[in-house]
Amino acid sequence: MKKIVLSLAAVMAAATFAPEASALPVFARQTGMACNACHFQHFPMLNTFGRAFKASGFTLIGAQGKIEGTQNTSLPDTLNTGFLTSLGYEKTNMSPDTTGLSKNTGNGYVFLPGVAGEASLFFGGRVSDNAGFLSEVALAPTAGLDSAKLPILYSVGGQGVRVGVVPFATNAQGASYGMELLNTGANAVQQMSNTPGFNSEHTMAISAQQFISTSGRADGAAFVATSDMGFLNLTKYQQSGIDQGAGASLGSTYLRVAGTLALGGWDAGLGIQSWSGQSWDGAALALIQTKATAIDGQMQGMLGEMPTGFYFSYAKAPKSDAGGLINAYSVDPNAGVTGVGATLDRSSFNIDAEVGVVPEVLTVGAAIRRGKSGVADAVTGENLTDNAIYLTTTYKVSQNMLARLSYTTQSGGYWNAANTNAVGSKTTTINLYTLF
């Protein structure tokens, strides 16, 4: 069992700084619209129009020419592509590397496009009246197809309702990749910050779903219904992804139900998530459990003259069954470093807020986490606390260039000397994201 736990932790660590899709020039080129047409304050946050575009399966097209024919043939006359890159610097209070042969984040770590930083190419857009496509190809440091999905959605009743299926596979975004529209971190990309940190410390401070590690590898099919009032996503999947894909049965089930509405001029949303079942993990080469629940919500609008967003999330992953199967979502993500696996329930409650102090230019944000690590105290057996405070500011150099400063400090019983020295309890990250 210990070997499986360490394998799962290593898999999650490898995906920590994997490329992630944010705002995509692929769609700006297709629609002829600027990035802020779809995004609230900055990418990757969606506004109401951005949700509608994604819910339609990426089919909306603007002034771009189309090739049309019989049987709903209607695709752009140009294959739309986009490029995403990031660079920056990260410093933690983990034990520095003293060998002189390499540097870690305890020394201070510079990351460049394709060298710990992101370098990804995207292809996607409209396929027909009722279908779209999105794929991400990582160029470095590990080249290969990272994520892909094919939304096939049909209008029903002419009231903005669409139903259909989204076949997908991803190495880094989990079962929710098929369809997610809220900005709470229910999906690894769709949250207040697009900066995870080398050990996901920033995203785990922002989102309860990310704290219990529901991102990562997944492949399957999402059965989806969307409307102006919300969306439903019922997905059958396995935790293999693209790079570890296997022809196994889709034994895990993901259910997402969320409602959206205008509430006193604010864009409000509330949802629940459930993961259940068991499936084959192609990286750990083992059958695993996938069991967790979550509830989340958001409010986006204007606070005086300043665009403001409030977000909350709660998630819980029960401990692994006594029968021996590991619950992938209750595993201590640092187990591969510290050698300690989760043996109790892992849970978190997170609250976030971000204010556009200079609209469309400068934001400040903060988040707080109150978590249970799932790791038992060696003496008392109690579930060690794992709390965090996150502070951030962003500066929009242009609509497709975003500079961000992130700081996370973690505390609680989990952060003893061993864990702090191994991964760091305090992290500062400076980065610049560019999309074109």
Q: pLDDT digit string (tens) for 62-111?
A: 878 888 877 777 888 888 999 999 999 999 999 999 887 778 899 998 99
Please state whether beta strands 144-149 and 162-170 pair in parallel, antiparallel, or not at all (unpaired).
antiparallel
Domain holding 188, by residue range, is 2-435
pLDDT at residue 243 greater than cutoff 70: no
Calculate mean pLDDT across residues 151-176.
92
Amino acid at residue number 173: Q
Q: How many CA atoms lie within 13 A of 33 on its CB side?
A: 15
Calculate mean pLDDT across residues 263-269.
94
Residue 335's alpha-carbon distances to 10, 33, 50, 331, 421, in angstroms, are: 8, 45, 38, 8, 13
Phi-psi region of 381 (alpha: psi -120 to 50; beta: other; left: phi over 0): left
Amino acid at residue number 114: G
Confidence band for 18, pLDDT divided at 50, 70 and 90? very low
Q: What is the signed CA dihedral for 294, 191, 106, 8, rounded to 10 degrees?
A: 40
Percentage of residues in the chain with pLDDT exceeding 70?
91
Residue 10's alpha-carbon distances to 155, 311, 320, 334, 367, in angstroms, are: 42, 30, 18, 8, 27
Ranges 136-140, 403-407, 421-425: which has the least confidence: 136-140
Instruction: State how far the Cα of 426 lies from the Cα of 419, in Å rounded to an integer.
Output: 12
299, two tokens: 């409010």
Sign of CA dihedral 302, 407, 313, 187: positive
Question: How buried is residue 425: exposed, middle or buried, by Cβ count under 10 Å (0-12/13-18/19+)?
Answer: buried
Please give the sequence-ordered ranges of beta strands (E in DSSP) within 218-265, or none if there are none: 218-227, 230-238, 252-263
pTM here is: 0.91
Confidence band for 3, pLDDT divided at 50, 70 and 90? very low
Helix (H, G, I), strand (E, B) or coil at 433: strand
Q: What is the pLDDT of residue 322?
A: 59
Residue 16's alpha-carbon distances to 13, 66, 139, 282, 334, in angstroms, are: 5, 38, 16, 18, 11
Helix (H, G, I), strand (E, B) or coil at 420: helix
429 contacts 111 by C-beta, under 8 angstroms: no
- CB atoms near residue 263 (< 10 Å): 11
* Domain count within the chain: 1
Confidence band for 10, pLDDT divided at 50, 70 and 90? very low
Ranges 68-72, 272-276, 386-390: which has the least confidence: 68-72
pLDDT at residue 244 greater than cutoff 80: no
Instruction: State how far the Cα of 414 lies from the Cα of 411, in Å rounded to an integer.
Output: 7
Ranges 6-20, 185-199, 205-219: which has the least confidence: 6-20
pLDDT at residue 165 greater than cutoff 90: yes
Q: What is the pLDDT of residue 4?
A: 36
Closest CA to 410 of 197, 216, 169: 197
Q: What is the pLDDT of residue 11?
A: 34
pLDDT at residue 339 greater than cutoff 60: no
Q: What is the pLDDT of residue 20?
A: 40
pLDDT at residue 323 greater than cutoff 90: no
Structure confidence by residue, pLDDT tens digits, 33-50: 888 888 899 888 999 999
Calculate mean pLDDT across residues 3-12.
35
- Read off the CATH number of the domain in which 239 is found: 2.40.160.10
